[in-house]
Chain A
Amino acid sequence: MNPSYIKFAAQTPGEQALRLLRSKGIAATLQKNPHPNQKEGCSYALFVRGNTQNALALIERAGIRHRGIETLREER
């Protein structure tokens, strides 16, 4: 199964979410989205070590704006 990530439109909410998860002992990394959406362009991907859905719930509870969970596409 391909890894999934939480998508953010901008760096700041991504960093906010990263900091939130780390403060709760959840390991995560933020990077520029390796597969940007062809309509939107650049975005940020937060890869969570562990349950991405649970991490997303924490992020939502903190009111951090995100663009949902996406799955990394296969490179050809």
Chain B
Amino acid sequence: MIYLDNAATTFPKPACVICAVSDFMKSAAANPGRGSHALSIRASYALFESRALLAEFFHTDVSRVAFTMNCTQAINFALKGCLQKGDHVIISSLEHNAVYRPLFRMQQDGFVTFDVAEVDPNDDGRTVRNFEKLIRETTKMIFCTHVSNVFGTELPIASLARLAHKHGLVFGVDAAQSAGCYRLNMEDMGIDLVCVPGHKGLFGPMGTGVLLFGDQVSPAPILEGGTGSLSLQAEQPEEYPDRLESGTLNLPGIVGLAAGLRFLRSIGGVDAVHEREAELIRVLKSDLHAIRGVKVYDRVQKDNATLLSFNIGRLQSEEAARQLSGFGFAVRAGYHCAALAHRSMNTTDPGTIRVSPGVFSTKQQMKNFIFYVNQIALGKKVC
């Protein structure tokens, strides 16, 4: 199987990640921050080291790195922990359901209101103006994706951060697709909240995510419970990250995530990964355009996008993905949990086929993929 679904989760995982998880499970998987014994202390140290690596990578304070189960949970923590009754939020037209659904529910419950700003993929200035037009007196936050998980469209997050701060708003970013392959510096870019999956561009195991936040925001917990600190006190501790981390963490996963981050650095870091994946998409784009009947959605992305959506004639995208699987290729099709994005780009019928190469993908694999897309376009099926 040639794996081209790295936007869903990176695969295969680097050997060092697998070893880190396995070694930790064998030698030190005690509960961190709970016991006074040597194993618990070792586990606590591993947890702190992982946290410190992430803080350094995204440029925030180590106490403002809270581990979650995944990016969706981090987004829920960010939205529900920072918004108060009556607040208004502005999101983009390319949001994943991880952002859209919590806000939709909060709006249904009469807690907050939100508006959707149209993204102009070819005019960042216009995108920023579209956000600005929606700001009103009760607006508290701008929250948007960094890179669309369907179309690879990159939003001008540094400009949006400036806009937010000009109006005294909190600025949050869903970095599900960008963490690990796009530059993301919270300090320099002025980002208050960043939500990150561990299992995508950071090469960690599933079941890991991170909420990182700056000192201008103080998210309230949406989960309370044991933290290993101030245990006789009824109130949840005020200290971060404990305030947001109740219950035993997925420390084997977190240790694997830290190993993934070290792996990322060892292969040249974010810029090298980005350039490698963007080059593979360029190869794909130019050849897909040459296939009759194939519609490529590349006008909505920059030349350095790291994923690509397309369709083969009027073939349902799910059916196309099934046929590609028969030829040995793993791609994602359908709606990618992104209702807003598909409505915005008029692709609800027939969805799109998304190709997302990773650091282990090769140009030859792209060429083979194109050959089989051509076969499907010609109506040939797997034997």
Which residues from A are CB-within-8-Å of B32? 11
- In B7-39, the 8 Å CB interface with A consists of 32-33, 35-36
Instruction: Mark A1-39 against chain B: 1 for CB-CB distance below 8 A, else 0.
Output: 000000001111101100100000000000110101111
- Give the interface residue-count category, chain A: 20 to 34
Of the listed stretches B107-115, B117-125, B225-233, chain A binds B225-233
Q: Are B36 and A39 in contact (CB under 8 A)?
A: no
A15 near B48: Cβ-Cβ < 8 Å: yes
Quick check: A9 and B239 within 8 Å, CB to CB? Answer: yes
Report if A42 contacts B (CB, 8 A): yes
Q: How large is the interface on B (under 10, 10 to 19, 20 to 34, 35 or more residues)?
A: 20 to 34
In the docked arrangement, what's the CA distance between A5 and B286, Å?
65
- CB of A41 within 8 A of CB of B45, answer no
Chain B interface SS verdict (over half): loop
Residue A16 contacts which of B33, B63, B229 (CB distance < 8 angstroms)?
B63
Q: How far is the CA of A44 from the CA of B215 in the complex (A)?
A: 23
**Known: A11-B44, A12-B51. Contact between A65 and B232, CB under 8 A?**
no
Within B30-80, the residues touching A (CB, 8 Å) are: 32-33, 35-36, 41, 44-45, 47-48, 51-52, 61-63
**CB-CB under 8 A for A42 and B230, given A16-B63, A32-B36:** yes
A31 to B242 CA separation, bound complex (whole angstroms) = 17
A43 & B36 in contact (Cβ 8 Å cutoff): no
User: Which B residues are within 8 Å of any A CB, using their own CB?
Assistant: 32-33, 35-36, 41, 44-45, 47-48, 51-52, 61-63, 227-233, 237-242
Q: Name A's B-contacting residues (CB within 8 A).
A: 9-13, 15-16, 19, 31-32, 34, 36-44, 63-65
